[in-house]
Amino acid sequence: MKVKLVLLCVLTFVFASIYNDLAVAQATDALPSWNDGKTKQSILAFVEKVTTKGSPDFVPPAERIATFDNDGTLWAEQPMYFQLFFALDRVKALAPKHPEWNGKEPFASLLKGEVKSALAGGDKAILEIVMATHAGMTTEEFQQTVKDWLASAKHPKSGRLYTEMVYQPMIELLAYLRSQGFKTFIVSGGGVEFMRPWTERVYGIPPEQVVGSSIKTKFELRNGKPAIVRLPEINFIDDKAGKPVGINQYIGRRPIAAFGNSDGDLQMLQWTTAGAGARFALIVHHTDAEREWAYDRKSLVGRLDKALEEAKAKGWTVVDMKNDWKTVFTFEKK
């Protein structure tokens, strides 16, 4: 009996070791949509050093905060921000209730299908469109509208649902970081209530880990029933210097890793990398005109200019989408 038990123990140990080795092997292949090379290697090397106990760069799990921009970093942002497509569709849907829009810009142009003329009014025009379509309802009504739109609206180029226009390599990266004890957050210039209804399903990021721009809201009792109503007034713009402010305000802890794709992310990357200990900054450079889009310094959407310079100067990781990614969109995997 004794010998057999010892044998059993030895076997258990052997199988456990094999399983362990397999787990390690699996971990090193946690990013199958990333081509082997220095980009992928820089990610793996950083994660290894901050998660290895006894390493001088070890970071306790509670402090493994990673922040991700959304537009252009986790999902596409061309030919324009997807939230803007949502707003334009809402203008059309709401038009019957707003006959005055036929004589009022930017709505009149929009309703005639002249998007460029409508947006010629710049930030002021966009703000008017956003307020007309994002305010005036309860938060729950707005969430439902977002969900309904995402379930049916299609991207003009790919014909895919917008939630399919997410980057497979980044989905893998999010999951990999979480498997290594990281807590993943979105820190986006997009509207926080536009993102929260779907980030958990699509990215595995729950609503409470989404930081974004917001309009003001108000609590009130409607016929005795509590409601939170969305007001046509900006509360917070989570872009550029607003990103570290948003991180501090919502997360309250400096990330050790940050991921972006444009000059709007520069301050987040600066704030992240200026902390003590090992830090990681990554920029997704859109270099693939065939599978996605190629744009940087001169693009109106997602301009990447100053941040690209700083990335070079400081040795941040820059993803060359064309060469570093085996797959771009999740729908290509299906």
What is the rounded distance in angstroms from the CA atom of residue 212 to the CA atom of residue 189? 6
Q: Of these, 213, 214, 262, 317, which contacts its own copies (CB under 8 A)? A: 214
Token readout for 242 is: 């607003």
Sign of CA dihedral 26, 27, 28, 33: positive
- Interface with its own copies includes 210 (CB under 8 A)? yes
Under rule CB under 8 A, residue 121 binds its own copies? no
For its own copies, the closer of residues 139 and 299 by Cβ is 139
Residue 251 touching its own copies (CB under 8 A): yes
- Rounded CA separation 59/153 (Å): 42
Amino acid at 24: V
CB of 262 to its own copies, least distance (A): 17
Site for its own copies in 255-314 (CB under 8 A): 267, 270-271, 274
Residue 313, judged by CB atoms within 10 A of its CB (0-12, 13-18, 19+), counts as exposed
The answer to whether residue 331 forms part of the interface with its own copies (CB under 8 A) is no
Min CB(119)–its own copies separation in Å: 28
x/- site string to its own copies, residues 4 to 33, per CB under 8 A? x-----------------------------
Burial readout 85-123 (b: 16 or more C-beta within 10 A, e: otherwise): bbbbebbeeeeeeeeebeeeebbebbbeeebeebbeeee
| Binding of residue 62 to its own copies (CB under 8 A) | yes
Closest by CA to 77, choosing from 155, 148, 193, is: 155
Q: Which residues bind its own copies (CB under 8 A)?
A: 1, 4, 62, 65, 139, 183, 185, 192-193, 196, 200, 206-210, 214, 217-221, 225-226, 228, 235, 241-245, 248-253, 267, 270-271, 274
